[in-house]
């Protein structure tokens, strides 16, 4: 009892969690270790340190180089070990950073490997909505958050918190959350590796080759995505137009208590979408019919939103709306879909218009870190004359489909290439041109660095053109993340 009295005042509104034993069930009296003091684990370290629990932080950097927060933690008694190998971790409860593979960690027998996200999912009282996938998860997560926020405003009850891989750790806000609230999470395959406690409402936007520099193979990547589905999952939303996610839905279709909602931009009825499925009384389909996004079960169809109300361009954004509508359907009044569609102008770094100069429009889509995302961006700019900036960190994924999308677009006249994947992309374009005889007019230019690639794009653009940064690659060869890459692009363009 003395232990509870000691930490309850520190956590404030965490008192409910202390009283019902949730925190103690998870951490108990075990020695904690944190691997990597990154964006998600720094708040976790603060929570554990404030609770007075023993903690060791392992990081490849010395504590003196980890910033003021780390040094303050050290003063509180947190032990720091400058070791990025993670081969001899001392701890009974080990919290790994998302970027650290579980099989890299060597610890004493019986140690539990978990994460900040799993702790949050275990502790939160809020309803949890989580979205993963190879493409579209950031926009879909943002839209889901906006829809639920609008519903909270409409009813005057509850609040909505958005975080996870989208950049905001929610653990420190857990104390504010009640059963009336919503927690909306973007989850990456890194975060989902080995996770056991899962969200209530989940969506998988699509699955295509990605992060194969980190995952052992495509099978492991798919399995990581599937980990979002657990015994406590009440609703599964997947994409009927993606073979992989369609198969995932079929795998879980026989689970009677699991509601399955499939969305499609290519099929236009419940029967067409659920063809070949085991019968599930909780099944619904979301699709476009007569220019309207509709929801349907086996017996009836209800229109939800006219596609013309969606202000952001591109078929992929219609799919993003369908994802958000599917995961929130029945938990909100359908009027909020129209309100959000009319006000939503997109997310930063996704087809973001930076400026127009000398008749040239500059678009920042730095978030496009895979070929399928760049293909979607090009599709949204059909009919435009484009100078494309591509290339970056190599995730060991195939670029042949991107070459096809670039050449077949018909409006791309210059590709300014950079980074480790620049040559790979260029080589695939050359192969496709040789194979099809198309795209002979496309200029390919290899640049020493990112700034050179942007400068070359400017020099190559003429009045009426669009310069599009859509790298089809991760940013880690030259930047901290895609957001930093996008900011550098915007700063460079605004300086022209």
Which contiguous run of DSSP H or E holds residue 357? strand 352-357
For position 107, what pLDDT does the model report? Answer: 87
In the sheet that holds 32-35, the strands lie side by side as 79-82, 55-59, 32-35, 93-96, 112-114
Q: What is the CATH number of domain 119-343?
A: 3.40.1190.10
Residue 483, H or E segment:
helix 482-494
**Three-state DSSP state, 418:** coil
pLDDT for residue 278 = 72
Partnered with residue 286 across adjacent β-strands are: 263, 295
pLDDT at 59: 95
C-beta separation of 450 from 421 below 8 A? no
In the numeric block, which tokens belong to residue 360?
Answer: 């040239």
Residue 24: the pLDDT is 60
Tokens of 256: 């009677």
Q: CATH 3.40.1190.10: which residues of the chain?
A: 119-343
- Position 280 scores a pLDDT of 76
User: Count of alpha carbons within 13 Å of 196, Cβ hemisphere only?
Assistant: 7
Q: What is the DSSP letter of 367?
A: T
Task: List the chain pLDDT tens, one digit each, 496 residues.
Answer: 222 222 233 334 344 444 444 666 678 788 999 999 988 899 999 988 888 889 999 999 999 999 999 999 999 999 999 999 998 899 999 999 999 999 999 988 889 999 999 999 999 999 999 999 999 999 999 999 999 999 999 999 999 999 999 878 899 888 889 999 999 999 999 999 999 999 999 999 999 999 999 999 999 999 999 999 999 999 999 999 999 999 999 999 988 889 999 999 999 999 999 998 877 778 999 999 999 999 999 999 999 999 999 999 999 999 999 999 999 999 999 999 999 999 999 999 999 999 999 999 999 999 999 999 999 999 999 999 999 999 999 999 999 999 999 999 999 999 999 999 999 999 999 999 999 999 999 999 999 999 999 999 999 999 999 999 999 999 999 999 999 999 999 999 999 9
Distance between CA 255 and CA 243 in Å, rounded? Answer: 20
Pairing, β 182-186 against β 160-164? parallel
Specify the domain boundaries for CATH 3.40.50.720 within the chain.
2-114
DSSP string across 421-473: THHHHHHHHHHHHHHHS--TT-EEEE-SSHHHHHHHHHHH--TTEEEEE--SS
Question: Across the strands, what pairs with 162?
Answer: 184
Q: The CATH number of 2-114 is which of 1.10.10.10, 3.40.50.720, 3.40.718.10, 3.40.50.150? A: 3.40.50.720
Domain 352-494 bears CATH identifier 3.30.70.2700: no
Q: Could you tell me which residues are beta bridge partners of residue 58?
A: 35, 81
The pLDDT score that the predictor gives to residue 38 is 86
Residues 291, 311, 149, 483: what is their CA dihedral angle, to the nearest 10 degrees? 130
Three-state DSSP state, 81: strand
Give the pairing type, strands 385-390 and 360-364.
Answer: unpaired
* Whole-number Å distance between alpha carbons of 363 and 148: 29
Structure tokens at 473: 């690659």
Task: Report whether 142 contacts 340 (CB < 8 A).
Answer: no
Q: Report CA-CA distances (Å) from 443 to 336, 371, 416, 448, 470.
A: 46, 19, 8, 17, 17
Residue extent(s) of CATH 3.90.190.20 domains in the chain? 352-494
């Amino acid at each position: 009892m003395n232990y509870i009295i000691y930490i309850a005042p520190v956590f404030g509104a965490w008192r409910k969690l202390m009283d019902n034993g949730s925190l103690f069930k998870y951490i108990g009296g075990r020695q904690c270790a944190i691997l990597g003091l990154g964006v998600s684990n720094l708040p976790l370290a603060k929570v554990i340190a404030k609770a007075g629990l023993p903690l060791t932080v392992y990081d490849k950097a010395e504590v003196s180089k980890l910033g003021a927060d780390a040094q303050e933690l050290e003063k509180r008694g947190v032990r720091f070990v400058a070791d990025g190998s993670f081969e001899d971790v001392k701890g009974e409860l080990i919290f790994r950073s998302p970027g650290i593979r579980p099989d890299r960690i060597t610890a004493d027998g019986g140690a539990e490997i978990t994460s900040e996200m799993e702790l949050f999912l275990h502790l939160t009282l809020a309803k949890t909505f989580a979205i993963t996938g190879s493409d579209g998860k950031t926009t879909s997560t943002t839209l889901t958050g906006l829809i639920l926020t609008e519903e909270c405003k409409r009813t005057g009850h509850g609040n909505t918190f958005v975080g996870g891989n989208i950049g905001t750790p929610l653990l420190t806000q857990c104390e504010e959350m009640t059963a009336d609230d919503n927690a909306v999470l973007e989850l990456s395959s890194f975060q989902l590796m080995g996770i056991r406690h899962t969200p209530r409402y989940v969506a998988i936007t699509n699955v295509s080759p990605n992060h194969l520099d980190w995952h052992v193979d495509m099978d492991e990547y798919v399995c990581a995505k599937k980990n979002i589905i657990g015994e406590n999952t009440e609703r599964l939303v997947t994409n009927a137009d993606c073979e992989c996610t369609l198969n995932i839905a079929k795998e879980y279709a026989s689970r009677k208590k699991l509601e399955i909602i499939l969305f499609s931009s290519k099929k236009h009825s419940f029967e067409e979408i659920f063809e070949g499925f085991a019968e599930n009384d909780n099944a619904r389909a979301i699709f476009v019919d007569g220019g309207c996004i509709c929801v349907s079960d086996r017996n009836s169809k209800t229109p939800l939103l006219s596609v013309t109300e969606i202000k952001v361009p591109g078929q992929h954004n219609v799919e993003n709306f369908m994802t958000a509508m599917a995961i929130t359907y029945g938990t909100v009044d359908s009027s909020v879909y129209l309100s959000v569609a009319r006000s939503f102008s997109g997310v930063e770094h996704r087809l973001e218009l930076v400026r127009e100069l000398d008749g040239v429009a500059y678009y920042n889509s730095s978030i496009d870190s895979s070929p399928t995302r760049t293909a979607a961006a090009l599709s949204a700019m059909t009919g435009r004359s484009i100078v494309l900036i591509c290339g970056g960190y190599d995730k060991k994924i195939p670029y042949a489909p991107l070459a096809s999308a670039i050449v077949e677009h018909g409006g791309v006249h210059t590709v300014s290439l950079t980074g480790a994947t620049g040559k790979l992309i260029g080589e695939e374009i050359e192969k496709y041109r040789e194979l099809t005889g198309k795209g002979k007019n496309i200029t390919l230019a290899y640049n020493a660095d990112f700034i050179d690639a942007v400068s070359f794009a400017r020099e190559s653009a003429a009045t009426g053109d669009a310069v599009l940064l859509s790298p089809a690659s991760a940013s880690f060869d030259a930047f901290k993340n895609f957001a930093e890459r996008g900011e550098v692009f915007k700063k460079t363009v605004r300086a022209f």
